[in-house]
């Protein structure tokens, strides 16, 4: 497995990480713990060293899964987790509970995450969503203290806007930004990617396969249960799925030429954008894990990339990525 460094930091990880959320949260009921443990260990066997989780996934059970599955493995693994939601309500749902990035809450969250992950230090700690009620300088200062105490190694932000990133970075250097980025969500290109390059911050795209859409396995006939997050997303409404098939057709054309899959082309495209980009596709299936990791070996030439750019520029992606309430929590 190839390695990449996140920005100017010394944090080196596998070129492809593994997003663990879907094993416990958001895409239907939690998956079988034994099967997911086997999948996590299979990822390590195949060279993955970068695993992404969060206290809110479950909540809590995803961190516990990752912690138990990876606890006794000798290889140096990088586990990233996140704080930022108030989960003190009876239903423990983040949207109902709201945001909480008060410094005292951050410190409590970290102590709990350390126990669930069965580690002495958190490799990469993200603020999950920007809390408009707490100055980002206070958040960065709290994480700085945790780094000085040896409880955290690196500070990250998720779905933060440019000014928030700059202000946080001035207090405690930001190692990585995690935000959505793919061929069907390219907003980071306008302002965020140039800023990250300027400041030497790595980029960790979540949903690099468009929550499964860019695999080419989802069309307008797809149905999603109430426990599947995608059932609430405008971009997964039948009319949007139908309109966006043009993007799948484009990926399929390139995939056929490269003897690869649509998913591999989508991931290879991300890897080709910048050397400090590390996607974290999620999966619950071994064959999909192997397919995703295979993207690291797919080489897209300058002509390939120019062709994708030209064709993609003619495709107007339909449908909002989130309902208004959730979209308001991003890019602050």
Residues taking part in catalysis? 57
Q: Cβ neighbours of residue 115 under 8 Å, at least 6 residues apart?
A: none
Instruction: Quote the CA–CA distance of 54 and 233 in Å, as a whole number.
Output: 21
Burial class (CB in 10 A: 0-12, 13-18, 19+), 330: middle
Question: How far is it between the farthest Cα atoms of the chain?
Answer: 54
DSSP code for 161? -
148-171 burial code (b ≥16 CB/10 A, e <16): eeebbbbbbbbbbbeebbeebbeb
| The residue to which tokens 């030429």 are assigned | 257
Q: List the beta bridge partners of residue 158.
A: 178
How far apart, in whole angstroms, are the C-alpha atoms of residue 29 and residue 104? Answer: 32
- The whole-angstrom separation of Cα 93 and Cα 149 is 30
- The one-character DSSP state at 133 is T
Question: Exposure pattern of 208-219 as b/e (b: 16+ CB <10 Å)?
Answer: bbbbbbbbbebe
Residue with tokens 């299936």: 285
């Amino acid at each position: 497995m190839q390695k990449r460094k996140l920005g100017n930091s010394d944090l080196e990880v596998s070129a492809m990480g593994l997003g663990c959320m879907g094993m416990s949260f958001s895409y239907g009921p939690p998956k079988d713990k034994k099967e997911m443990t086997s999948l996590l260990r299979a990822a390590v066997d195949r060279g993955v060293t970068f695993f992404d989780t969060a206290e809110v996934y479950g909540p809590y059970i995803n961190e516990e899964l990752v912690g138990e599955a990876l606890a006794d493995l000798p290889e140096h693994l990088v586990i990233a987790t996140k704080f930022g939601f108030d989960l003190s309500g009876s239903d423990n749902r983040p949207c109902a509970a709201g945001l909480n990035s008060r410094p005292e809450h951050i410190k409590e969250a970290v102590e709990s995450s350390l126990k669930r992950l069965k580690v002495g230090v958190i490799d990469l700690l993200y603020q999950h969503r920007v809390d408009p009620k707490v100055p980002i300088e206070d958040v960065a200062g709290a994480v700085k203290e945790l780094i000085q105490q040896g409880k955290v190694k690196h500070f990250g932000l998720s779905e933060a806007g440019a000014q928030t990133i700059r202000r946080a970075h001035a207090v405690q250097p930001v190692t990585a930004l995690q935000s959505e980025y793919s061929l069907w969500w390219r907003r980071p290109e306008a302002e965020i990617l140039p800023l990250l390059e300027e400041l030497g911050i790595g980029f960790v795209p979540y949903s690099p396969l468009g929550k499964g859409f860019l695999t080419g396995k989802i069309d307008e006939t797809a149905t999603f249960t109430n426990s599947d997050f995608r059932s609430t997303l405008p971009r997964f409404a039948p009319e949007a799925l139908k309109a966006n098939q043009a993007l799948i057709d484009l990926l399929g054309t390139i995939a056929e030429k490269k003897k690869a899959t649509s998913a591999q082309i989508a991931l290879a495209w991300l890897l080709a954008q910048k050397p400090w980009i590390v996607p974290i596709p999620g999966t619950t299936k071994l064959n999909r894990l192997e397919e995703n990791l295979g993207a690291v070996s797919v080489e897209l030439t300058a002509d390939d990339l120019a062709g994708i750019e030209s064709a993609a520029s003619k495709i107007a992606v339909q449908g909002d990525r989130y309902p208004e309430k959730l979209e308001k929590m991003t890019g602050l």
